[in-house]
Amino acid sequence: MALPASRFQAALRLAGRSWTRPCLAPLRTGASWRAFSASSRWQLHTKEMHEELLSSLKVNQSRLMEDIHYTCQWGTGQKWGKEETETGMSRLALSDADKEARDWFVQTTKALGCHTTVDSMGNIFAIRPGIRNDGPPTFVGSHLDTQPSGGRYDGILGVAAGVEMLKVLADNWVETEYPVGVVNWTNEEGARFPISIVSSGVWAGAIPQETAHNLREVHPGTATMASELARIGYLGETPASFNNMPMAAHFELHIEQGPLLEMANKKIGVVKGVQAYKWLTVNVKGRDTHTGTTDLKSRADALLAASKMVIHSHRLATANGCLASTGILNLKPGSTNTVPGEVSFSLDIRAQKDHTVARMLQHIENDFPKIAAGEDILNSNQDCTKGLPCSITINQDFDSPATLFHPDCIEAVSRAAHSVLGENSKNLLLEMTSGAGHDSVYTSKRCPTSMIFVPCREGVSHNPAEYCKPEDCTLGAQVLLQSVLRFDRMRDERRVTWKQEPYTL
C-alpha cells in the first residue's frame, strides 16, 4: 500500500467520498480484463479528483526499488561495490537475460489487469483500460535492454516506474478517463544491434521494418534482430506502427546521464527536447605490412591515420562547442607485427542545434580524406614521417535532428513536478535539453511527448557504477505518475488526441 492510510482517508473525506480499503490480495497472473467501468461506486475517477487528492496518490519507494533490483537478476554485470545491488548490468537486447526481463514485464502487467500486445519489433505495450476507451492510451515508456557494461537505472527505472504507476492505480482503485499504458521498447541502446532507438523508430515509421529486422548484431555474432526476436518468442504479429498502436502521449522518466542536475543541486529535470546527433562509420584503408621490415615512409598505416582523425574530431568539437566521440574501433588484421591495413570506427556527433551538427559533418567530410591522404590538418603531421596515402569512406548510419517536445506534455510534467516538490519546487527544478537520444525522440514525431530527468551520481552512465539514489528514483516516479494523471485530465480540454488520425508534428 503506497499511501499512509490516514492521509489518504483525509483526502477522500475532502473529496466527499467514503473509504473502504480495497482487497489488496495480489491479482492472479493472467487475470481476466478488469471491468473498471462496472466497478463499485467508491472508485476514484481522475477527472473528479481535486488537486490535494490527486497529489496524495504516491508511489511506494521500497516496492519500486525492489522491482528495479529484482529485474536486475537477469543480466547482472560487473560488481563495483560491496552490496548485492552494487553491480552493473549487461543485458543486451533480445538476449536470454532480456527475454527473462520481458517475461517478468508481461506477467506483472497482466497481473495488474493490463492487455498486453507484442508488436513485430518486440515492443511490448501493456494497456490499462480507462472509463472511456474511444481514445488511445497515455503511455509511459522506456527500455529494459542495457549497454554491455551498463548500469541498473538507464531505461530500467523508466519501465519500473511505469509498472509502479500501474500498482498505485490498482492499489487505490483509480480509474483514469482514458486508458493508460506502459511500453518496453526493443534495443533502445543500439549496443547489440547497431541502430539505437530502432524499434520506436520503426513504430514511428522513420525506420523501415526490413532494415531493423535485418540488423546484424555487432562483431563477432551473426544473429539478426528478426532471428533473435523469433528465437526468444517476441516476434509479435501486430505490425510495429503508430497506426496499430496509437498513443495519446508518451512520458519517459530517465536518469539524466550527465552531471547538470547533480552539480546544480536540482532534483527534477523538465526535459523540453533532445539535442541533434548523427552517427557515422569511418573506414580507413591502408596496407597490411610487416612492422619490422617496412620503414615508416613505406607504410600506409590505417591506425595512425585513424588516430589522427579521432583527435581531429575532438579538436573540431572543442572548436564548435559540441561533442564528438568514438566508441567503437576495429582494425584488421590485428597482429602485433603487422601494420593494420584497415580500421573502421564510429563517430557520434552531437550539438544543441542542427546547424552545428551539419557544420561538424562538413568539416569531417572535408578534413578526414585529407588526413588519410597524408595532408597536414591543424598540425596533425607535426614530427611525423610522411607515409603512403590511405583511402577513406564515411557513411552516415543515423541522423536524429534536434527534437522539441510538446508544450502540453511539458506543462503536465512541470505542474506535476511543482506539486511533488512542494514549496521549494522552483529551486529544485531544471528545464533542460537531453544530451542522449531516447525512444521519446521517435514518439515525439507521432504523439505529444515529454521526459522527466532525475540526477545520477557524478553524471556517470553507460557504466556499471551508474547510480541513482532511491529517493531520487521515487521522486521521478512520483512526477511521472502525476504527469500521466494530469495529462489524462487535460485531454478533453486540449483535444490533443481526440482525433483518430495519428498525431504528426
Q: Which 393-452 residues touch a second copy, going by CB under 8 A? A: 434-437
DSSP 216: B
Give the H/E segment covering residue 339. strand 338-339
Under the binding rule (CB under 8 A), the answer on residue 222 touching a second copy is no
Find, among 190, 241, 252, the residue nearest to 215 by Cα.
190
**Which of 131, 232, 329, 394 contacts a second copy by CB under 8 A?**
329
Measured from the CB atom, is 344 or 474 closer to a second copy?
A: 344
Measured from the CB atom, is 9 or 307 closer to a second copy?
A: 307
**Is there a contact between 129 and 115 (Cβ–Cβ < 8 Å)?**
yes
Under the binding rule (CB under 8 A), the answer on residue 361 touching a second copy is no
Query: From CA 423, how far away is CA 430, in angstroms rounded?
Result: 15
**CA distances, 455 to each of 89, 291, 505 (Å):** 19, 48, 29
Coil, strand, or helix at residue 329? strand
Question: In the bound complex, what is the minimum distance in angstroms from residue 425's beta carbon to a second copy?
Answer: 24
Measured from the CB atom, is 166 or 304 closer to a second copy?
A: 304
Query: From CA 132, how far away is CA 136, in angstroms rounded?
Result: 10
Under the binding rule (CB under 8 A), the answer on residue 256 touching a second copy is yes
Residues 169-198 interacting with a second copy (rule: CB under 8 A) = 189-191, 194, 196
DSSP 151: -
Residues 445-484 interacting with a second copy (rule: CB under 8 A) = 459-464
Question: In the bound complex, what is the minimum distance in angstroms from residue 74's beta carbon to a second copy?
Answer: 19
Under the binding rule (CB under 8 A), the answer on residue 95 touching a second copy is no
**Which of 1, 14, 31, 384 contacts a second copy by CB under 8 A?**
384
| Residue-wise DSSP of 365-415 | HHHHHHHHHT--STTTTTTPPP----EEEEEEEEEE--EE--HHHHHHHHH
Long-range interactions of 367-372: CB distance < 8 A, separation 24+:
367/312, 367/316, 368/282, 368/309, 368/312, 368/392, 368/394, 371/305, 371/308, 371/309, 371/312, 372/284, 372/305, 372/309
Report CA dihedral (269, 270, 276, 279) to the nearest 10 degrees.
Answer: 50
Find, among 213, 186, 264, the residue nearest to 426 by Cα.
264
Question: In the bound complex, what is the minimum distance in angstroms from residue 289's beta carbon to a second copy?
Answer: 6
Query: From CA 472, how far away is CA 469, in angstroms rounded?
Result: 5
**Which of 291, 362, 366, 395 contacts a second copy by CB under 8 A?**
291
Residues 49-78 interacting with a second copy (rule: CB under 8 A) = none
Give the H/E segment covering residue 210. helix 209-213
Under the binding rule (CB under 8 A), the answer on residue 326 touching a second copy is yes
Copy the grid coordinates of residue 392.
Answer: 577513406
Under the binding rule (CB under 8 A), the answer on residue 81 touching a second copy is no
Over the window 22 to 51, marking each residue x when it contacts a second copy by CB under 8 A and - when it does not, the resulting string is ------------------------------
Question: In the bound complex, what is the minimum distance in angstroms from residue 242's beta carbon to a second copy?
Answer: 25
CA dihedral sign of residues 420, 416, 274, 207: positive
**Which of 13, 21, 132, 290 contacts a second copy by CB under 8 A?**
290
Under the binding rule (CB under 8 A), the answer on residue 340 touching a second copy is yes
Question: In the bound complex, what is the minimum distance in angstroms from residue 36's beta carbon to a second copy?
Answer: 39
**Which of 8, 185, 279, 442 contacts a second copy by CB under 8 A?**
279
Measured from the CB atom, is 180 or 274 closer to a second copy?
A: 274
**Is there a contact between 137 and 248 (Cβ–Cβ < 8 Å)?**
yes
Under the binding rule (CB under 8 A), the answer on residue 382 touching a second copy is yes
Under the binding rule (CB under 8 A), the answer on residue 332 touching a second copy is yes
Question: In the bound complex, what is the minimum distance in angstroms from residue 334's beta carbon to a second copy?
Answer: 5
Measured from the CB atom, is 122 or 258 closer to a second copy?
A: 258
Residue 330, judged by CB atoms within 10 A of its CB (0-12, 13-18, 19+), counts as middle
- Which one of 4-12, 307-315, 364-372, 489-497 is the stretch in contact with a second copy (CB under 8 A)? 307-315
Measured from the CB atom, is 89 or 124 closer to a second copy?
A: 89
